[in-house]
Structure 1
């Protein structure tokens, strides 16, 4: 499922067919040095890693880490996106590209588009980013797209120290505006095929967990089938919206 495009890139959902590409990425020296060693060494392990670490989040959150492809030839470059990690107060932008594609501005382009998507499509009011304290290249990317350096901290999401970056919407909180934006996102998710991927971002974590917990099939076709089940509620004025740590969400029966 395509999420967004830039001048040179396409960001889309991962699928189990991406196992060879993700296996290469997870064993790339740059990934291991700057992110971590997942100890994924076979395609079978890569499939399970894809399901649990990437694809399940689309169902739980309505967003996640997406495959980054070059538009001109479909070449797989790496991943980029936004997730909500345990141990961090707000969703954070992350990325990792194969070493051979470094130095061409792809990380900045993908991260900038992700940041814009967070604000304008997902309605996020606070976004974070973290890097290793010595990872100056990633720090430059986060600063360039508009996040502010908050210094080096020990977060609950990481074993070692991290340099933390953050952006907060300068506009005052407005519940009425946020609720109106939620209803618009809900309608778009149910009526626009290109926005179906945001469906889970419209509901409470309890509801999305009900859909995802114990599931084996995290495919795009299964997700779109779920969206179709709710199509008749696109304009339902009686849906109950409740505040959550991620903003206003619908709590569906």
Structure 2
């Protein structure tokens, strides 16, 4: 298990195939994917295993990073993902997060991704990161602004209005 970073409440680590049930669990509630475009992509543990194998493990190999598991230190439970993903349409790196609804509103998304940004500043060669949210997803937009990202532009995609935020990691 590769630990990336931690906070007082959270451990941030790479996903492994042993995490498939947890990935299914935090992705399965309908409201989790309301604004992601991923609805229906994780309806079984086998599909969760496919996400780990075909996306995250491949991206760890290809880019050296991908989404990371957010683990509650107190219980060892995986409550979602955080961290980075290379996005070709951005020609850059996206910061993202997804948590099971039982853990919404507790500051975990901000806490986990702040730790990721600090890690990136020290250990990664990112000049900037981006975050994109559907316009109606006010809670995620608040997380991005708490992280220091600022609004850049909006565009239409698949019937959604997307807001793009950005943050320079180099002075």
Fold in common (TM above 0.5): yes
The Cα of 1:169 is off from its aligned counterpart by: 4.2
Q: Which residue number corresponds to residue 28 of structure 1?
A: 29
Q: Which residue number corresponds to residue 41 of structure 2?
A: 39
Q: Which residue number corresponds to residue 241 of structure 1?
A: none
The Cα of 1:15 is off from its aligned counterpart by: 0.9
Query: Does the 8 Å CA contact 1:29/1:99 hold for their aligned counterparts?
Result: no
Q: In 2, Cα distance between the equivalents of 1:39 and 1:12?
A: 23
Query: Does the 8 Å CA contact 1:23/1:43 hold for their aligned counterparts?
Result: yes
Q: Secondary structure at the match of 2:84?
A: strand
- In the alignment, structure 1 residue 77 sits paired with structure 2 residue 68: no
Q: Which residue number corresponds to residue 180 of structure 1?
A: none
Indicate the structure with greater strand content: 2
Gaps of 5+ in 1: 172-253
How many residues are paired up?
Answer: 168
Q: In 2, Cα distance between the equivalents of 1:31 and 1:122?
A: 29
Query: Does the 8 Å CA contact 2:128/2:170 hold for their aligned counterparts?
Result: no
Indicate the structure with greater helix content: 1
Q: Secondary structure at the match of 1:134?
A: coil
Aligned structure 1 segments of 4 or more residues deviating by more than 4 angstroms: none
Change (3 A) 1:76 1:169: closer
Q: In 2, Cα distance between the equivalents of 1:170 and 1:58?
A: 23
If you compute each CA radius of gyration, which structure gives the higher value, 1 or 2?
Answer: 1
The Cα of 1:46 is off from its aligned counterpart by: 1.8
Cα RMSD after superposing both structures:
1.5
Query: Does the 8 Å CA contact 1:80/1:111 hold for their aligned counterparts?
Result: yes
